Structure 1
Amino acid sequence: MKAMILAAGKGERMRPLTLHTPKPLVPVAGVPLIEYHLRALARAGFTEVVINHAWLGQQIEEHLGDGAQLSLSIRYSAEGEPLETGGGIYKALPLLGDAPFALINGDIWTEYDFSRLPASLSGLAHLVLVDNPGHHGTGDFRLQAGQVKDADAVSPTLTYSGIAVLHPELFDGCQAGAFKLAPLFRQAMAKGLVSGEHFTGQWVDVGTLERLAEVERLLAERR
């Protein structure tokens, strides 16, 4: 199974660090954020990775190269204009092939073991959900008997972790350009085509300087 890392965001909430450095290359305990994902993917047995980029993306290519130093083969999907999450994945589909692929948001840090991801799907997507963090208390979706459903007014919710397995058919009918991924999830959920799991280990959405400091603290505790 191939993997795709989403790395096209500008990281505006992490300025000034991201004024001259793309967010995936911001160091966390001395290691660029994206390298934690790449090393974890290699440990889990992945060999082929696609990375999309836009803001200062050439720096990502120059730093990681073809991935050989990490025992990976890395290919890049460069975006000349912001394509949102869905549009960025759609543009990269020719590099990902016809089989399900793992998807990882580049701006998270986690101890999730990517070898746990299912290599095949009975539907169109499998989402890894986490407990709602303080900055996103309302959550995104609910998990019911292994199926991910849209949130309702009464059921407990969980937050989408930014880790998933997607089937390319999820994007059937889409067109090139900028669009979000969440509406595609919800359309598939309505048809019962999205499975899920609840991960309770360490996970941080590294979207602000404060959360970057939180990851630094967690890594220091591990050392």
Structure 2
Amino acid sequence: MKAMILAAGAGTRLKPLTNRLPKPMLPIIEKPVIEFILELLAKYDVNEIMINLSHLAGVLQNYVRSGYRYGLRVGYSFEGHFEKGQLVPEPVGSAGGLKKIQEESGFFDETFIVLCGDAIVDFDLAKAYEFHRASDSVATIISKKVERDKIPNYGIIVCDSAGRVESFQEKPAVEKAKSNLANTGIYIFEPEVFNYIPKNQFFDIGGELLPLLVQKRERVFSLDTKIDWYDIGRNSDYLEILGAALEGRIKGFKPSGREVTEGFWRGTGSVLEKSIKIITPVYVGAGSIVEKNVK
């Protein structure tokens, strides 16, 4: 199985954080989001990966490079055009980005997984692949049940008792929601999906490709599986994830440095003056100086 990481978005809702960093490069206590995704793929031996880039493309490419240090082979697709040596972003949508790569290289010649570059996830990818094969599905959506009051924040999936998708609802009001299965933005596809993606135009997976597949009676399934899913769509989401990281709620992640007290981590060489007030969870980075009377 191959993989595609979607990383071309501008991250408008995360400004000013994304003025200098693309969303996948936002640090979770000094570890970029993209690194969590690459480590998950490496864990399940998904070794051939494409990443689409547009906004601040060079930042992510210069960090990940060939993927060698993760035991991966990583390639890139640039969405835009160059002017005076600089990439001018021209994103083509999540499905459009897939089509661009396929037209240029034929990379997706077997089952492949698509993940968003702005979410930290942990789930049994092998189990998801087995479900996809057993269902004889052209597209499998990894889903998660959410609390009823959270439904308006997500794209909702409506499926039958076997998990076959019947329809979608985009961020419905609670009283109009037909299910509480949220689309996590993780998909397993067969190459046949390219028959439904038009060339050279903006096309979205969630809003256009998946509804079209269902309309054409293709076999599209939802897998409600155990998944840790931290989506970074807004600044409040980012703050929540940082707290989860410091409190040990992100599986397998431990901040660098030393935990002084519960929820308070201190990096190597950091200096804390007297009379400071710390309200956990807090991480003081390596080499940082916190002067007196700081709260």
Tell me if both proteins adopt one fold, taking TM over 0.5 as the criterion: yes
Deviations 1:114-134 (A, max 9, x none): 233316641320110112462
1:179 paired residue among 198, 203, 218: 203
Q: Which residue identity is paired with 1:92?
A: I
| Residue 150 (str. 1) matches residue 167 (str. 2) | yes
> Measured at CA, do residues 96 and 157 of structure 1 come closer, stay the same or move farther in structure 2, by a change above 3 Å?
farther
The more displaced of 201-210 and 136-145 is 136-145
Contact 1:40 / 1:113 at 8 angstroms: preserved in 2?
Answer: no
Greater gyration radius: 2
- 1:135, CA displacement in angstroms? 6.8
Give the unaligned 5+ runs of structure 1. none
The more displaced of 126-135 and 43-52 is 126-135
SS across alignment from 2:91: coil
The more displaced of 41-50 and 186-195 is 186-195
Q: Which residue identity is paired with 1:126?
A: T
Deviations 1:44-93 (A, max 9, x none): 11111110010011111111110001110000011101101111111122
Give the unaligned 5+ runs of structure 2. 81-89, 170-175, 249-253, 255-295
Equivalent positions of 1:207-222 (< 5 A) are 207-222=233-248
SS across alignment from 2:5: strand
2:231 paired residue among 189, 196, 205: 205
Q: Which residue identity is paired with 1:124?
A: V
The more displaced of 89-98 and 129-138 is 129-138
- 1:176, CA displacement in angstroms? 1.9
The more displaced of 156-165 and 61-70 is 156-165
Deviations 1:132-164 (A, max 9, x none): 462735642123212122147673241110111
1:136 paired residue among 152, 156, 159: 152
Q: Which residue identity is paired with 1:45?
A: D
- 1:113, CA displacement in angstroms? 2.9
Partner residue in 2 for 1:167: 190
* Identical residues among aligned pairs (%): 28
Contact 1:51 / 1:76 at 8 angstroms: preserved in 2?
Answer: yes
Partner residue in 2 for 1:85: 94
Give the aligned length: 223
- Computed over aligned residues only, the root mean square deviation of the Cα atoms, in angstroms, reads 2.0
The more displaced of 56-65 and 183-192 is 183-192
Q: 2-side partners of 1:184 and 1:138: how far apart? A: 17
Contact 2:54 / 2:79 at 8 angstroms: preserved in 1?
Answer: yes
Partner residue in 1 for 2:117: 106
- 1:99, CA displacement in angstroms? 1.2
Partner residue in 1 for 2:62: 62
Contact 2:7 / 2:53 at 8 angstroms: preserved in 1?
Answer: yes
The more displaced of 51-60 and 114-123 is 114-123
Partner residue in 1 for 2:264: none
Asked which structure has the greater RCO (Cα within 8 Å, sep 6+), the reply is 1
Q: Which residue identity is paired with 1:74?
A: V
Q: Which residue identity is paired with 1:193?
A: R
Q: 1-side partners of 2:26 and 2:154: how far apart? A: 28
Contact 1:143 / 1:197 at 8 angstroms: preserved in 2?
Answer: no
Q: How does the TM-score come out when normalised to structure 1?
A: 0.91
Q: How does the TM-score come out when normalised to structure 2?
A: 0.70
| Residue 25 (str. 1) matches residue 39 (str. 2) | no
Contact 2:77 / 2:101 at 8 angstroms: preserved in 1?
Answer: yes
SS across alignment from 1:111: strand
- 1:200, CA displacement in angstroms? 4.0
Q: 2-side partners of 1:3 and 1:175: how far apart? A: 21
Q: Which residue identity is paired with 1:187?
A: L
